[in-house]
């Protein structure tokens, strides 16, 4: 895929499909280590040991609407091409953690893309609360800054106004974009 954010959205959809009520997305841009970490953690139904072994196999899927499952396999391929990798830990009935990482400076690395759009898309899922954390680390610039957003907190502040109403969704996307800009995100 052209942008890492599209991989992230695709993998996040697995959490929605797994019936999770909470999803945490953590991104860490570490310029000292020249590394980007992308971690998705949910409290969905989890995977059996068998399913877990096959989860990154492009021909394994538990979905019934198509015969190939590509989300995890594609993210893994992108990370491996960029001197990184992908690891999954999962416990049936408890949830799943997908950790992926790659080298920021790798010439093949896709740009991060539109994380505001990812947050916007996930905010439209009524059953799942999203926590999004994003940090930029760089000792040379003496910086360790982070951005954090929790859709539950935003909904609380909104009161009767739905998180999914178009003006709120527009605001949300801009809020993330502005937050990452202030952070000095340049992935
Ligand atoms: N967060 C998750 N919770 C539970 N099962 C998952 C999760 N992520 C992936 N899986 C399992 O791994 C399979 C492969 O996922 P993926 O590569 O995204 O392909 P697809 O979603 O098209 O099946 C899914 O069908 C599902 O069985
Ligand atoms: Mg998927």
Pocket test for ligand 1, best of 13, 72, 79, 93 (most atoms within 8 A of CB): 72
| pLDDT in the model for residue 59 | 73
Q: At what angle do helices 166-183 and 115-123 cross, to 10 degrees?
A: 150
The closest of 36, 11, 35, 39 to 24, measured between CA atoms, is 39
Dist CA 151 CA 52 (whole Å): 29
**CA-closest candidate to residue 26, choices 43, 2, 8:** 8
Whether pTM > 0.85 for this model: the answer is yes
Q: 173 phi and psi, to 5 degrees?
A: -65, -45
Question: Ligand 1 within 6 A of 14 CB?
Answer: yes
Q: Return the residue whose CA atom lies nearest to atom 12 of ligand 1.
A: 55
40 close to ligand 1 (CB < 6 Angstrom): no
175 Cα–ligand 1 center, Å: 30
For the chain, list the domains and their CATH numbers.
4-183 (3.30.565.10)
Ligand found nearest the CA of 13: 2
CB of 155 sitting under 6 A from ligand 1:
no
Digit-coded pLDDT (tens) for 133-144: 999 998 776 667
Read off the pLDDT of residues 18-51 as tens digits, 9 standing for 90 and up: 999 999 999 999 999 999 999 999 999 999 999 9
> HSE (CB half, 13 Å, CA atoms) of 2?
2
Q: Give the closest residue to 84 by CA, choosing from 99, 66, 72, 65.
A: 99
Determine the distance separating the centroid of ligand 2 and the alpha carbon of 52, expressed in angstroms: 13
Taking only the tens place, the pLDDT of each residue in 90-106 is 999 999 999 999 999 99
């Amino acid at each position: 895929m052209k942008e890492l954010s599209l991989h992230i959205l695709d993998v996040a959809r697995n959490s929605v499909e797994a019936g999770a009520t909470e999803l945490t997305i953590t991104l860490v841009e570490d310029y000292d280590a020249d590394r980007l970490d992308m971690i998705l953690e949910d409290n969905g139904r989890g995977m059996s040991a068998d399913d877990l072994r096959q989860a990154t196999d492009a021909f394994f899927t538990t979905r019934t609407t198509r015969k190939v499952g590509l989300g995890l396999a594609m993210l893994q391929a992108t990370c491996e091409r960029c001197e990184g990798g992908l690891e999954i830990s999962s416990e049936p009935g408890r949830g799943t953690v997908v950790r992926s990482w790659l080298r920021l400076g790798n010439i093949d690395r896709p740009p991060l893309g539109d994380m505001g759009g990812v947050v916007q898309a996930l905010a439209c899922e009524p059953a799942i609360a999203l926590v999004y954390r994003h940090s930029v680390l760089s000792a040379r610039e003496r910086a360790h800054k982070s951005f954090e957003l929790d859709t539950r907190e935003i909904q609380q502040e909104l009161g009767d106004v739905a998180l999914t109403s178009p003006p709120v969704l527009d605001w949300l996307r801009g809020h993330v974009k502005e937050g990452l800009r202030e952070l000095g995100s340049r992935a």
